[in-house]
Amino acid sequence: MIIQRINRTNPEQVYAIVENTSGQTLTVGIPTCWDTGGAGLAAASVGIAVRVPATSNLAAFAGIPQENIAKDAGTIGKILIYGLASAVVHVGAASVSAAGLKVGPANAALSLQSNGYPTDGGAGIGNSALPLVVVMNNDLSGPGTVNVFVRAM
């Protein structure tokens, strides 16, 4: 983990060092989930492997990349696991992009969506009393980017 030194101008942020095992570039601002590949995961990658959201790993939200992480095997990068993230991709109408809305990764979607955070106990990141991702601004009129606060530690 990389913990930002506390200062007066920037909010606290915590990063995790991860390996991209998804087979595609992880782009800044898209959600990532821990790779739950089990026995098929290389021993060196266990505990640091992340990939794009899929049905099998939605409950394992990891964080938001703050730099592009190439798709090449063994590529290491960093993801934000706690703190304010700007320009995070969100798909949804203005009515589902309100400040304070809980959002999460959705299956095969390279964005945060309100349907990625179910209230019915279905697949997704669950009914946590402390949401993992909360929208911080509501100036979105459709698909675009939002500022979010991430709590994935």
What pLDDT, in 10s, does the model give residues 75-120?
899 999 998 888 787 766 555 556 677 777 777 777 777 654 544 3
How many other CB atoms are there within 10 angstroms of residue 92's CB atom? Answer: 21
Q: Are 50 and 33 in contact (CB under 8 A)?
A: yes
Question: Which of 36, 59, 82 is the C-terminal boundary of a domain?
Answer: 82
Please report, for residues 68, 137, 138, the alpha-carbon distance to residue 94 in angstroms, rounded to integers and kept in the order given. 27, 11, 7
Question: Do 97 and 145 belong to one domain?
Answer: yes
Residues 105/111/115/119 CA torsion (nearest 10 deg): 40
What would the two tokens of residue 146 be? 């939002």
Question: Do 75 and 100 belong to one domain?
Answer: no
Domain enclosing residue 54, as ranges:
2-82
What is the pTM assigned to this prediction?
0.78
Task: Count up the domains in the chain and report the number.
Answer: 2
DSSP code string of 75-105 = -EEEEEEEEEEEEEEE-S-GGG--TT-B-EE
Question: Do 89 and 146 belong to one domain?
Answer: yes
pLDDT class of 152 with cuts at 50, 70, 90 = confident
Residue with tokens 């200062």: 7
What pLDDT, in 10s, does the model give residues 119-151?
434 444 444 444 577 766 656 556 677 788 888
